[in-house]
Amino acid sequence: MFARYALIVLFLFVSPTLAAEPLPSWNDGASKTAIVEFVKLVTEEDSPDYVPPAERIAVFDNDGTLWAEKPAYSQLFYAVDRVKALAPSHPEWKDQQPFKGILDNDLESALAGGEEALMKIIMATHAGMTTDEFEAQVADWLETARHPETGKPFTGMVYQPMLEVLDYLRANGFKTFIVSGGGVELMRVFSEAVYGVPPEQVVGSSIKTEFQMRDGEPVLVKLPELNFIDDKAGKPVGINLHIGRRPIAAFGNSDGDLQMLQWSTSGEGPRLGVIVHHTDAEREWAYDRKSHVGKLDQALDEAPDRGWVVVDMKSDWEVIYPNGGQ
């Protein structure tokens, strides 16, 4: 009787530990091991490489690292829908690129003008309103918009294995930040609900904002003028400006994250650099060196010499999307 009771007690104490195994959607392998071993290294107090909680800063790119970026960035789909919604008030757009291409459902023609065309689209759809109005519009869009290829909500296109990394790091005393080339105010609408990252821990690109009084009420108005591009070499600058500490862990997926990875992993003490390599053409998309979105070339070449972990999405991840979604 006592032996049976002892086994029951043992089960009650042991089974939660087994259930709490870190990163359950990751297959066992070098990538998962590297992340788990790094966390142990910097959090165990008797470790010679122990890092105080205040210095446990981890930064994550968003597009292609935390959620899907194919066939185009989610923010572009928001802008496209806004162009169509605003078109009745702008009859001239039916003859002007890049707006004509959008209204004709010809995104390739709309974006043929490159960065200049993209900036025109962003300014026309993001500027002129208050920050509160913009936030409400984005929230409404996220409620109804669907990914053009999967039919999922855009917030359903997040990567379950990366959600687990975020949770695992926070459970071990890390503060997690998003550092993305995407628009900072758009990401802040959903970052806390989807990623557990509060708005004050999101760093991104922005257009200028101006304080105004409208009908006796103080508001912040978004202006049609570029403020900061948080991409490539801009990412370390944004981290320094908004976070004020050099991260000890950085996660990205493209050459747009190269400088963030270089800077984060070049400091003293233990460092972790992780690249999500899109290798799964069946469950997601397979792309790297020649992709127009999320190009991964130089960073992939530098990874071995710098000791960065290259996550093979096809072999390292048991599932891609939440709730067992592929």
Domain ranges of the chain: 23-72+157-316
Which pLDDT score, from 0 to 100, does residue 326 have?
60
Mean pLDDT, residues 4-23 taken together: 48
User: What is d(CA 295, CA 283) in angstroms, rounded to the nearest whole number?
Assistant: 19
Q: Would you place residue 5 in the very low, low, confident or very high pLDDT band (cuts 50, 70, 90)? A: very low
Per-residue pLDDT of 245-255, as tens digits, reads 999 999 999 99
Which pLDDT score, from 0 to 100, does residue 325 have?
57
With a cut of 60, say whether residue 53 has pLDDT above it.
Answer: yes
User: What is d(CA 171, CA 22) in angstroms, rounded to the nearest whole number?
Assistant: 10
Which pLDDT score, from 0 to 100, does residue 30 have?
98
- Cβ–Cβ under 8 Å, residues 265 and 271: yes
With a cut of 70, say whether residue 3 has pLDDT above it.
Answer: no
Which pLDDT score, from 0 to 100, does residue 15 have?
38
Per-residue pLDDT of 210-231, as tens digits, reads 999 999 999 999 999 999 999 9
Mean pLDDT, residues 14-40 taken together: 84
- Cβ–Cβ under 8 Å, residues 254 and 296: yes
pLDDT above 70 as % of the chain: 93
- Cβ–Cβ under 8 Å, residues 207 and 227: yes
Which pLDDT score, from 0 to 100, does residue 115 have?
86
Q: Would you place residue 12 in the very low, low, confident or very high pLDDT band (cuts 50, 70, 90)? A: very low
Which pLDDT score, from 0 to 100, does residue 324 have?
60
More confident residue, 93 or 4: 93
Which pLDDT score, from 0 to 100, does residue 21 have?
87
The CATH code for residues 23-72+157-316 is 3.40.50.1000
Which pLDDT score, from 0 to 100, does residue 224 have?
95
Mean pLDDT, residues 118-134 taken together: 95
Per-residue pLDDT of 191-213, as tens digits, reads 999 999 999 999 999 999 999 99
Partners of 146 in the β-ladder: 153
Mean pLDDT, residues 157-178 taken together: 98
User: What is d(CA 141, CA 120) in angstroms, rounded to the nearest whole number?
Assistant: 20
Our CA angle for 122, 225, 142, nearest 5°, is: 30
Mean pLDDT, residues 26-44 taken together: 98
Which pLDDT score, from 0 to 100, does residue 18 have?
40
Q: In the structure encoding, which two tokens stand for residue 254, read together?
A: 């493209």
Identity at 222, one-letter amino acid code: K
Which pLDDT score, from 0 to 100, does residue 229 have?
96
- Mean pLDDT taken over the chain: 93
Mean pLDDT, residues 101-123 taken together: 93
CA atoms within 13 A on the CB side of 166: 25
User: What is d(CA 22, CA 32) in angstroms, rounded to the nearest whole number?
Assistant: 9
Burial class (CB in 10 A: 0-12, 13-18, 19+), 9: exposed
7: left (phi over 0), alpha (psi -120 to 50) or beta: alpha
Q: Would you place residue 8 in the very low, low, confident or very high pLDDT band (cuts 50, 70, 90)? A: very low
Per-residue pLDDT of 265-308, as tens digits, reads 998 999 999 999 999 999 999 999 999 999 999 999 999 999 99
